[in-house]
Structure 1
């Protein structure tokens, strides 16, 4: 009987400590960055909640892939996204790519659409003051086609 009481007391105490730990820890805080601290970070992790497309996106060729410049005001950072990429053959074509390029110094990041996928997005550049643009490339096997957004 003594053993049962000790086990029950231990279970009660561990439950109490677990509840107290949750109360102290509180809700998880969202990851954040701003301006230069966002440079080279994943926008989906840090800044996608208020992301906008500040300038019109562009189609490469006729609906081969769609290129967008994405921007977060709360993070003061920009990135590029390519979507709706038509199926491509890795045996005869280079993968569709997109880059974000910062006008002030040429800092850039690129991503390549994986085989079997239709899009990707780049890491972020600090866009707190400078302007950026997105540039996408699609290879038909015979020619390369490009689309560039405004800044």
Structure 2
């Protein structure tokens, strides 16, 4: 009798393991309707508000602000990086500096998008991630003579 129970238990463990493997294999970063779309072209930016922000600063001072933006209508989040100066030469070997960049990351599955501030510009915003019932954070990166600045907002 105990032998039968053990065999049934083993079958249950194996079946459970197979089910978990299937879930794990299909449980990668989900693509929701608004993922990767522009907050501006979808109209989501029309009611977008800043729900978290952080100054981009180092010993030389504050160089800009990273913001986590959220649309209540679309339930989406995106990052916006604004520099306090116009982006100078960047992004190639002769410039010697990477262009300032921002990113948005959804916490539950790690889906992320980024944007780069081009030479002569002061701002960029990322594509958006669907965020209803989830949380995301924004991060920014600035590469300047006085060093690199990496800053992240709180999650929302």
Compute the RMSD of aligned alpha carbons: 1.5
**How far is the alpha carbon of 1:142 from its aligned partner?**
5.2
Aligned to 1:79: 78
**How far is the alpha carbon of 1:74 from its aligned partner?**
0.5
Q: Which has the larger radius of gyration?
A: 1
Runs of 5+ consecutive residues of structure 1 not aligned to the other structure = 1-34
Runs of 5+ consecutive residues of structure 2 not aligned to the other structure = 1-30
Indicate the structure with greater strand content: 2
TM-score, with normalisation over the residues of structure 1? 0.72
Of the structure 1 ranges 86-95 and 120-129, higher mean CA displacement relative to structure 2 is found in 86-95
Indicate the structure with greater helix content: 1
1:53 aligns with 2:50: yes
Aligned residues between the structures = 116
1:94 aligns with 2:106: no
What does 1:1-150 align with in structure 2 at a 5 Å threshold?
Answer: 36-46=32-42, 47-55=44-52, 57-61=53-57, 62-86=61-85, 87-90=87-90, 91-141=95-145, 143-150=147-154
Instruction: Point out 4+ residue stretches in structure 1 off by more than 4 angstroms.
Output: none
